[in-house]
Structure 1
Amino acid sequence: MDPTAWQLWLIAAIVLGVMEIKLSGFVTLWFAVGALMASLMAGAGLGFNSQLVVFTLVSAALFGASRTLFKNVFMRDAVHLKTGAEAMLGQEAVVTEALAEGHGGTVRINGELWMARSLSGPLPEGERVTVEQIEGLKLWVRRPSASHEVALQPVRQKKENASWD
């Protein structure tokens, strides 16, 4: 029994489908569907070049559409996971070295010590503060109950106006 083009495409679709089950990438499924469509086109009598075009177009279209589909349908309610310095904004820290007016100290946040400056006046050791802004390796903190009497300046202006750097 001599295999014809549609049988070869069908075997390719089955192999790619099995690979999809075994692998965790969710990629080969679209190539399996493309091979299945090429098999149908071969069965309908289209030439080999037409079969390749159908395989390529179907696979590429499904591959491209799957990212959009998953992002817009399945991930629409997903929350952006904050990591690194971005995750510290709004978090609570504990003053480990008093923060004096015009001078920095240190705070402990997530088990790490960070240099800090106060936006709400002097802060004694042991006081709980909230991280308001991050400038390089310095945290700008304030008492959680403090009103926002000191407006936060953009980082560039702080560096230009700061005399303690």
Structure 2
Amino acid sequence: MDIHAWQLWILAAIIAGSLEMALPGFVMLWFCVGAVVASLAAAVGLDINVQLALFTLISVTLFAASRTLFKKAFMRNASTVKTGVEAMVGQEAVVTESLVEGYGGTVRINGELWSARPLGGPVAEGERVIVEQVEGLKLWVRRPAASLEVPLKKKEGR
């Protein structure tokens, strides 16, 4: 039985494809594609050096570009999720120790106590505030803005 180079490349592609199904992530898939391209080169009769060069070039290029390819294909409408300190901005906190300008105080947010400084005057204990900014382990907070809604007066006769 005579074994040809293209058959060995197909065997390599099958092995890489099997490993791709067994392993998490898209890693071996690109080596599978590279082996298929190299098998086509072998079937056409190109030299082993050309086959190896094509296998390496295709596999490494696809491997390097896969993050960009998948991000563009699957993440185009995804919004970024804020976590940790980044997620605190805009959230409501309760003052546990009066906030005095220049000295600050303490607020409770998400069950945790944080050192806080007021933006726009002192804030009494028990009041609700909004986190505007996080600076290290200190929160800059303000009172929620008063509603600007003005009730419409009913017109006479209607």
TM above 0.5, one fold? yes
1:16 aligns with 2:16: yes
Root-mean-square deviation (CA, aligned residues, Å) is 1.6
Runs of 4+ in 1 over 6 A off after TM superposition: none
Match of 1:154 in 2: none
Q: TM-score, normalised by structure 1?
A: 0.82
Query: Structure 1: how far apart are the matches of 2:53 and 2:101?
Result: 71
1:33 aligns with 2:46: no
Which letter maps to 2:5?
Answer: A
Q: TM-score, normalised by structure 2?
A: 0.86
Shift of 1:146: 5.6
Match of 2:93 in 1: 93
Is this contact kept in 2: 1:106–1:115, CA < 8 A? Answer: yes
Select between 120-129 and 58-67 the one with higher mean Cα deviation. Answer: 58-67
Structure 2 unaligned spans of 5+: 148-158
Aligned length: 147
1:129 aligns with 2:129: yes
1:70-81 equivalences in 2 (<5 Å): 70-81=70-81
Query: Structure 1: how far apart are the matches of 2:51 and 2:98?
Result: 74
Query: Structure 1: how far apart are the matches of 2:127 and 2:144?
Result: 10
Select between 13-22 and 80-89 the one with higher mean Cα deviation. Answer: 80-89
Is this contact kept in 2: 1:33–1:58, CA < 8 A? Answer: yes
Match of 1:153 in 2: none
Deviations 1:67-116 (A, max 9, x none): 22222231111111222221111111111111123321101111111000
Query: Structure 1: how far apart are the matches of 2:139 and 2:62?
Result: 46
Structure 1 unaligned spans of 5+: 148-165
Which letter maps to 2:36?
Answer: L
